[in-house]
Amino acid sequence: MITETVRKNAVKVLFVDDEFIEFRALKKKIADLSEPAVEVEYSPSIGDALEKIRLARFDLILLDNRLLPNADFRETVPELRGIGFTGPIGVVSTDISGGYFQEFPDYGVDFRIGKDEIDAQTLQHIIREYVNYDVPDFWKDDYSI
């Protein structure tokens, strides 16, 4: 038996990027996305993102690979995981061709994607894959059964 997640509220996405214009571009690109409803919040730095995660629940984090001063996902994602965030994290970058990107699963990253590849369809896929995914009942934490 499959239990389907029935989502009543909008999917909450935290977009972390040191350039606000990227956030505006993202909002514009996903404006058509109505199913599921998505609420995107913006963080200009990893410090601000950590604060926001402590205060509110987010279903998904889209994280710019390079954040000031010079950190890439190998430093920033372990920080997010370190405070107990167990939701999906996607690394977004203009250029994802660097060899170190192949190691993304080892750093707690769920997926990587080019900035120009994000649109309503792709975000819909990401939400379906990482946020609203089904777990069969018998694979859940069923120690109490």
Partner 1 sequence: MNNAPAIPFHAGPELSRAINRTDFFRLLKSAAQHYNFDNFALARISEASAPFGERDIVITNVAERRVGLFITTLKEALGTVRAKSAQFLATPVHGRSVRPEDYRSDLVFNEFLSGVFLFIPLFTPEGRRYCLVLSGERQEPDQSEIADMLLDAMRIFDKLYEEILTQEMSGRLTQREQEIVKWTSEGKTSAEIAIILGLSEHTVNSHITAAARKLDAVNRVHMVAIALRNGLVT
Would you say 42 or 85 has its CB closer to partner 1?
A: 85
C-alpha distances out from residue 47 to 33, 99, 101, 137, 144, Å: 29, 27, 23, 37, 38
Would you say 5 or 21 has its CB closer to partner 1?
A: 5
Would you say 18 or 79 has its CB closer to partner 1?
A: 79
**Least distance in angstroms from the C-beta of 23 to partner 1:** 21
Residues forming the site for partner 1 (CB under 8 A): 35, 78, 81-82, 84, 86-90, 97, 101-102, 105, 107-108, 110-114, 117, 121-122, 124-126, 128-130, 133, 135, 138-143
Q: Is 84 left (phi over 0), alpha (psi -120 to 50) or beta?
A: left
Which 8-state DSSP code applies to residue 4? P
In angstroms, the CA 80 to CA 75 distance is 9
Cβ atoms < 10 Å from Cβ of 121? 11
**Least distance in angstroms from the C-beta of 1 to partner 1:** 12
Would you say 25 or 113 has its CB closer to partner 1?
A: 113
**Least distance in angstroms from the C-beta of 15 to partner 1:** 17
